[in-house]
Amino acid sequence: MNCGRAFSLEDVIRKDGVPYCSCGGVIKPDVVLYEEPLNEKVLRAAIAQTDKADTLIIGGTSLVVYPAAGLIDYFHGRSLVVINLGKTSRSGSATLNIAAPIGQVLKRAVLDHALAMDA
């Protein structure tokens, strides 16, 4: 899209086929699609937050797609947790490795937390 105009989900759903803006650009979600560049401001903010984090949890990634995979290079905290089905390039340096699907691990963590809150 060329103009940067925001659209609601309802606006997009009501359109038949590929949704276009009146400026002529294709309306797409506010996500980064494969091979698109990351927003520089967002990337700088992610680097800054990673640099000052005490704990970094990485989940559901092979750590091979850059530049997002490179964020771990800015982590200097104490605890690195890797949640992934397979080994990653950082599994050996992780404080904790959990070999399971990220969705399964997070579901369990949320349920355990909810149960602890009820107790």
CA separation for the pair 61, 36 (Å, rounded): 18
E runs forming strands in 23-114: 55-59, 79-83, 96-98
Residue-wise pLDDT tens digits, 45-66: 999 999 999 999 999 999 998 8
pLDDT tens-digit profile of 6-48?
888 888 888 888 888 889 888 887 777 778 888 899 999 999 9
User: Based on the domain organization, do 26 and 62 belong to the same domain?
Assistant: no
* Tally of domains within the chain: 2
Spatial distance between the Cα atoms of 24 and 3, rounded to a whole number of angstroms: 9
Give 58's strand partners: 82
- Same domain for 24 and 50, yes or no, is no
Contact 63, 89 (CB under 8 A): yes
pTM of the predicted protein model: 0.72
Residue 54's CATH number: 3.40.50.1220
